[in-house]
Structure 1
Amino acid sequence: EIRLVGTAHVSQNSIDEVKRAIEEFEPDVVAVELDRGRFAAIKKEGKPPEMDDIIKGGNFNETLVQWMLAYIQRKIGMDVGIEPGAEMLAAINEAESRQIPVALADRDIRITLSRFWRGMTVLEKLRLIYALMGTIISGKGDDEEDKIDIEALTKDKDLIEMAIEEFHKFSPNGAYALIDERDAYLAHSLLRLSQRHEKVLGIVGAGHMKGIQRYFEKPETLPPFESLTAQQKTHNWKLIIGGVIIAMFAFILLLIGFSGVGVDVLLGAVVYWVIINGVLAAGFTLIAGGHPLSALTAFCVSWLTSLNPFLAAGWFAAVTEAKVRKPKASDLQKIIDAESFSDMRQVPMFRVIFVAALANVGSMLGTFAYFIFIFPILGIDPTVVFVDGFNNLVAWISGLYR
């Protein structure tokens, strides 16, 4: 027999309900919606990640989104006086006090975040970051009228379904990785446990209840377990876009060179590539609160990183920022405990990642700005350059075979 308890991660009622369910049901095993990493974090047994490991990972945007989500969840918890994940900790402590084994039923958070981020379109990512930043910077939820009634959310199934439906509309691909796939993963875990234990109690988020129950009713619809953990095969857009940028830049220089407008114009095109990329990368580094040396680093490398899909201006800026700010592993807890976005920005580890993300944004915008504005800046007619340059290039190539 499998019994589910749907909880909110910042709810006193959920804590009480979890304890009551364990006492009344007397399960052979308690399965919690946690993976090893989050289990260790809740039990305060985990080792915080080192800054070097985060930088080497290079997933700056994913890391930022994860921190923002953790921050927002904690802010909601502060409103109701409950630490995020308190109901899971209560389930673990209650089970351990009764010598009941605890099983970790959720997918590795790193796999979930990777599939979540990789699965979203560019538009979905921009909308998500905009929404998260808007919530954090505006401090929405601090006013009494903005408070979220967590207890009502866990009790009202229609409200839960409405919230999930809105998330699917907001980010279909993100919702699929964050909700639908984890419904299936949790169902797999619970069904496997039921083969070894007579009574299984599953402690899961209220938003997963309906999806898990649907799979219990029709287990044949469960996707293969391996498909939920395998690395998604996606087009390597970084390489594709990088290749297109290199080709466009080389093609423009080639046409300018063969158009006969002069060497000074050709040199100007190269110089402006360096300046436009550098200024925007450095500017966004400073907007992120980066050190002037980090901004200088971004300026110096962005012209090159924009032409190399294996390099990123943000990575170099982050390395410099880390050397200057000297973040510590303990900074991660400071990020989660921050009272506001400005407090968060004061934490060296957050600032390093924020610098990395915004430097990359600036470098990317610099590349687009170059292709849009280079001809007006140089004061030449692109039509003339393209026509004359192309004709002269064709004539030159033809002359090679005569």
Structure 2
Amino acid sequence: MLAQEPEYVFIVGTVHFSERSAEDAAAVIQAVRPENVILEVCRSRTAIIYDHKPQPGSDHAAEPNSMSLSGPSFAQALLRSARLGGNSAMVLRAALSAQAGRVSRGLGVRSGVEMRAARRAAEAVDAQIVLGDRPIEITLQRAWQALTWPQRLRLLGLLLRGGFADNSELNMNAVEALKDDDVITSVVAEYSRKFPQVVSPLLHERDLYLAWSLKRSKAVNGRPNTKEWGCVQARFIGDNGSD
């Protein structure tokens, strides 16, 4: 019998550093009680959805680290990411992590707060979690390969300067504004102007992948679900290399 697509899909727009987004994510899951919850995260970044390092013998998602890598150990996770995406992807990811760290320190909120809230809410209603994003190593490798060497150096310079810049202008109002369509369009337009080659691998290709994850989620888990909940983050370029 052919796999059926979900009958209902609920998509909630969020921002990775937003406590309000965490509340929204939990509220939707509690109200809808879906069979599956699809998160915009891949296997390599599953550490971001956990609150702390698990006890020995439990799930082996690593304690959160600056690059949000997951695995039995940071070293093994790093090697896995390098193997999938190559050294160039790891260089770009490190620079993006520095940028994310700046935002996290300025706001006092660890990135992915809404995904952790979604995971807890999903567990509370016995919903299965689907990792919906394309592997970040592939995304960054494609973005890196799309740039010329001068563009690569320029992008790394901008990210590293941003990673150690002053945090005084960061505030929650600015973060919440990223949910506004006009602000998102403006941010994407700015990056499109400076680095048009990376827009497709970072945004459009991943949008298609996430849509596919929503469509296939019922078949992945093999449950007779009728309700799905999808988490699609606002396109915040500084978040751990994922957006």
The interval holding the TM-score normalised by the smaller chain is: 0.7 to 0.9
Mapped pair 1:23 → 2:30: yes
Q: Aligned partners of 1:52 and 1:95: how far apart in 2? A: 28
Q: Which of the two has higher C-alpha Rg? A: 1
Q: Aligned partners of 1:27 and 1:105: how far apart in 2? A: 15
Q: Aligned partners of 1:70 and 1:31: how far apart in 2? A: 23
Which residue of the partner structure matches residue 192 of structure 2? 168
Q: Aligned partners of 1:128 and 1:52: how far apart in 2? A: 22
Shift of 1:52: 9.4
Which residue of the partner structure matches residue 113 of structure 2? 86
Which residue identity is paired with 2:97? Answer: A
Aligned match of 1:158 in 167, 170, 182? 182
Q: Could you report, residue by residue, the CA deviation over 1:362-382 in whole angstroms, capped at 9, with x for unpaired residues? A: xxxxxxxxxxxxxxxxxxxxx
Matched-pair contact (CA < 8 Å) for 2:35–2:126: no
**RMSD, aligned α-carbons:** 2.6
SS at match of 1:34: coil
Mapped pair 1:181 → 2:230: no
Are the structure 2 counterparts of residues 111 and 51 from structure 1 closer, same or farther at C-alpha, using a change threshold of 3 Å?
A: closer
Which residue of the partner structure matches residue 46 of structure 2? 39
Which residue of the partner structure matches residue 68 of structure 2? none
Q: Could you report, residue by residue, the CA deviation over 1:295-353 in whole angstroms, capped at 9, with x for unpaired residues? A: xxxxxxxxxxxxxxxxxxxxxxxxxxxxxxxxxxxxxxxxx9xxxxxxxxxxxxxxxxx
Q: Aligned partners of 1:100 and 1:177: how far apart in 2? A: 30
Considering Cα pairs closer than 8 Å and 6+ residues apart, tell me whether 1 or 2 has the greater RCO: 2
Q: Could you report, residue by residue, the CA deviation over 1:108-154 in whole angstroms, capped at 9, with x for unpaired residues? A: 11111111211222232122112112223xx32422x3557101212
Are the structure 2 counterparts of residues 79 and 52 from structure 1 closer, same or farther at C-alpha, using a change threshold of 3 Å?
A: closer
SS at match of 2:75: coil
Are the structure 2 counterparts of residues 192 and 61 from structure 1 closer, same or farther at C-alpha, using a change threshold of 3 Å?
A: closer
Which residue of the partner structure matches residue 200 of structure 1? 228
Are the structure 2 counterparts of residues 146 and 17 from structure 1 closer, same or farther at C-alpha, using a change threshold of 3 Å?
A: closer
Are the structure 2 counterparts of residues 4 and 134 from structure 1 closer, same or farther at C-alpha, using a change threshold of 3 Å?
A: same
Q: Could you report, residue by residue, the CA deviation over 1:258-312 in whole angstroms, capped at 9, with x for unpaired residues? A: xxxxxxxxxxxxxxxxxxxxxxxxxxxxxxxxxxxxxxxxxxxxxxxxxxxxxxx
SS at match of 1:173: helix
1:1-400 map, 5 Å: 1-40=8-47, 42-43=49-50, 44=53, 45=61, 46=71, 47-50=73-76, 53=79, 59-136=86-163, 139-143=164-168, 145=169, 147=171, 149-154=174-179, 156-193=180-217, 197-207=225-235
Which structure shows the higher strand fraction?
2
Q: Aligned partners of 1:69 and 1:134: how far apart in 2? A: 11
Shift of 1:178: 0.8
Q: Aligned partners of 1:52 and 1:93: how far apart in 2? A: 26
Shift of 1:194: 5.5
Matched-pair contact (CA < 8 Å) for 2:49–2:119: no
Q: Aligned partners of 2:31 and 2:205: how far apart in 1? A: 30
Shift of 1:177: 0.6
Which residue of the partner structure matches residue 325 of structure 1? none
Q: Aligned partners of 1:113 and 1:103: how far apart in 2? A: 21
Q: Aligned partners of 1:59 and 1:30: how far apart in 2? A: 30
Shift of 1:181: 0.5
Q: Aligned partners of 1:51 and 1:25: how far apart in 2? A: 34
Where structure 1 has 5 or more consecutive residues not aligned to the other structure, the ranges are 209-335, 337-402
Shift of 1:77: 2.0
Q: Could you report, residue by residue, the CA deviation over 1:159-192 in whole angstroms, capped at 9, with x for unpaired residues? A: 0111112112221221211111000100111122
Are the structure 2 counterparts of residues 96 and 52 from structure 1 closer, same or farther at C-alpha, using a change threshold of 3 Å?
A: closer
Matched-pair contact (CA < 8 Å) for 1:8–1:206: yes
Q: Aligned partners of 1:163 and 1:91: how far apart in 2? A: 26
> Matched residue pairs, number?
204
Matched-pair identity in %: 31
Which residue identity is paired with 2:108? Answer: G
Shift of 1:24: 1.8
Are the structure 2 counterparts of residues 52 and 157 from structure 1 closer, same or farther at C-alpha, using a change threshold of 3 Å?
A: closer
Q: Could you report, residue by residue, the CA deviation over 1:84-130 in whole angstroms, capped at 9, with x for unpaired residues? A: 11211110111012211111111111111111211222232122112
Q: Aligned partners of 1:174 and 1:162: how far apart in 2? A: 16
SS at match of 1:84: coil
SS at match of 2:119: helix
